[in-house]
Amino acid sequence: MPQITRKYPGKKAGEIYEKVDEVMERIAEKLSLDYQKDGGAKTGKVSKMGVSGAYAVKDEEVVIDLKFPMLVPGSMRDKVQQDIERKLDGLFG
């Protein structure tokens, strides 16, 4: 289960959550994933047919856990992970 962590020094949880929420909504729409979010807890989850990703935001940081069923090829897992990492890296760019 890959875990992605990104730190954003000086950024408050609310700022990070707002940006991560926008990214996750676009990813969910593009890939036809179910998206559930909890603005109060600053968490969210996307899922479809055994593939899931959950994130939690706190001050200066976001952590995303990805879960893939064994049937998903490694190359596809890598592509999804790299796509998310690229979007997180450009969050405040």
pLDDT tens, position by position, 15-47: 999 999 999 999 889 888 999 999 999 999 999
The pLDDT score that the predictor gives to residue 85 is: 93
Q: How confident is the model at residue 80 (pLDDT cuts 50, 70, 90)?
A: confident
CB 83 within 8 A of CB 28: no
> Where do the domains of the chain lie, and which CATH numbers do they carry?
3-90 (3.30.530.80)
Long-range contacts of 12-21, Cβ-Cβ distance < 8 Å, separation of 24 or more: 12/59, 12/60, 13/42, 13/57, 13/58, 13/59, 14/42, 16/42, 16/57, 16/59, 16/60, 16/61, 16/62, 16/91, 17/42, 17/57, 19/91, 19/92, 20/44, 20/55, 20/57, 20/62, 20/88, 20/91
The pLDDT score that the predictor gives to residue 67 is: 93
Q: Beta 3-7 vs 34-38: how paired, if at all?
A: unpaired
The pLDDT score that the predictor gives to residue 30 is: 86
